[in-house]
């Protein structure tokens, strides 16, 4: 029995993540059109009809754009905390009452053979939260859309087998770029997004001998590049003594192309 996942899409234009076991096949967020979601699932080799539920992190459009469509088309229940439900209910269309479920922050739910733990992050949404997934002693942590990684979050997500971790921007690119200052200030602030360097520094406190892969996620289209993020994070990890050639692999994510399904065995 394995824990498998794919980053279907990641970036400011849309986010979706798949995690599966023998009994559960879960979609986390649906931030693209229904048509795009179907394409991404197909490219990853995932039958949309096999999905069992959708978990939501927060109400920003790049995380819920296709949520209502996907839930209705594939008859999927949706899980989100109460504040997120209130913030997004006018944007996702009609959802049957028996398909609406509350998943509170700082709660652990068991779905079949998968335990899912939610935790709050620092972001400018109603009550944003992300998840760790546990199965047969294996752990995957999903951490994006946060202005910083607190000690509380670090304790929850530490020692995972795989991380999908935000590396949103290069600070110099952002500062010199064309964004208005108020937008730059939001991104750089505690309710914004984690930079390449801060991502790497947080990861040095989290990864251990069990960690096999790190997927750099939610890269800014305008203020980052895959090569730059990988270089910045990789250099800091190597400076801190982590061997990226033997034990830990750094991987890219993309807003339009899913990562191959990876199985943790």
Read off the pLDDT of residues 103-131 as tens digits, 9 standing for 90 and up: 999 999 999 999 999 999 999 999 999 99
Question: Can you count the helices (H) and strands (E) in the chain?
Answer: 9, 14
Taking the C-alpha atoms of residue 29 and residue 22, their distance in angstroms, rounded to an integer, is 21
Angle between helices 226-239 and 196-206 (to 10 degrees): 40
> Can you give the pLDDT at residue 247?
83
pLDDT band at 170 (very low <50, low <70, confident <90, very high): very high
The domain locations on the chain are: 3-264
* Encoded tokens for 7: 């980053």
- DSSP class of residue 169 equals B
Read off the pLDDT of residues 26-72 as tens digits, 9 standing for 90 and up: 999 999 999 999 999 999 999 999 999 999 999 999 999 999 999 99
With a CB cutoff of 8 Å and minimum separation 6, the contacts of 161 are 3, 138, 139, 140, 210, 211, 212, 213, 264
The residue whose two tokens read 């998968």 is 114
* Encoded tokens for 228: 């730059």
> Can you give the pLDDT at residue 265?
86
* pTM score, whole prediction: 0.97
3-264 to CATH, choices 3.40.50.12780, 3.40.50.1820, 3.90.1150.10, 3.60.15.10:
3.60.15.10
Taking the C-alpha atoms of residue 47 and residue 71, their distance in angstroms, rounded to an integer, is 14
> Can you give the pLDDT at residue 90?
96
- With H, G, I as helix, E, B as strand and everything else as coil, classify residue 264: strand
- Yes or no: say if 253 and 7 are a contact pair by the CB < 8 Å rule: yes
Longest dimension (CA), the chain: 52
Sequence length of the chain is 265
Residue 88 has pLDDT above 80, yes or no: yes
* Encoded tokens for 39: 């394409």
84 C-beta neighbours (distance < 10 Å), count:
25
Return phi, psi of residue 12, to 5°: -70, -15
> Can you give the pLDDT at residue 1?
64
């Amino acid at each position: 029995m394995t824990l498998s996942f794919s980053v279907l899409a990641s970036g400011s234009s849309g986010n979706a993540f798949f995690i599966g076991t023998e009994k559960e096949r879960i979609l986390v967020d649906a931030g693209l059109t229904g048509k795009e979601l179907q394409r991404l699932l197909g490219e990853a080799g995932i039958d949309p009809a096999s999905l069992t539920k959708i978990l939501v992190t927060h109400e920003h459009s790049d995380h819920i754009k296709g949520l209502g469509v996907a839930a209705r088309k594939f008859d999927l229940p949706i899980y989100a905390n109460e504040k997120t439900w209130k913030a997004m209910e006018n944007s996702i269309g009609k959802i049957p009452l028996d398909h609406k479920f509350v998943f509170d922050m700082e709660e652990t739910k068991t779905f079949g053979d998968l335990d899912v733990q939610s935790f709050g992050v620092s972001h400018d949404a109603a009550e944003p939260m992300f998840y760790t997934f546990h199965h047969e002693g294996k752990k995957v942590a999903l951490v994006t859309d946060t202005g910083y990684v607190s000690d509380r979050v670090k304790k929850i997500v530490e020692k995972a087998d795989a991380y999908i971790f935000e590396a949103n921007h290069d600070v110099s690119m952002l500062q010199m770029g064309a964004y208005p200052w108020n937008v730059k200030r939001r991104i750089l602030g505690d309710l914004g997004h984690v930079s390449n360097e801060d991502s790497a520094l947080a990861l040095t406190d989290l990864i251990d001998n069990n960690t096999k892969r790190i997927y750099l996620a939610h890269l800014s289209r305008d203020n980052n590049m895959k090569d730059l993020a990988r270089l910045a994070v990789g250099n800091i990890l190597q400076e801190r003594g982590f061997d990226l050639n033997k034990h830990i692999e750094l991987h890219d994510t993309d807003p339009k192309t899913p990562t191959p399904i990876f199985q943790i065995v």
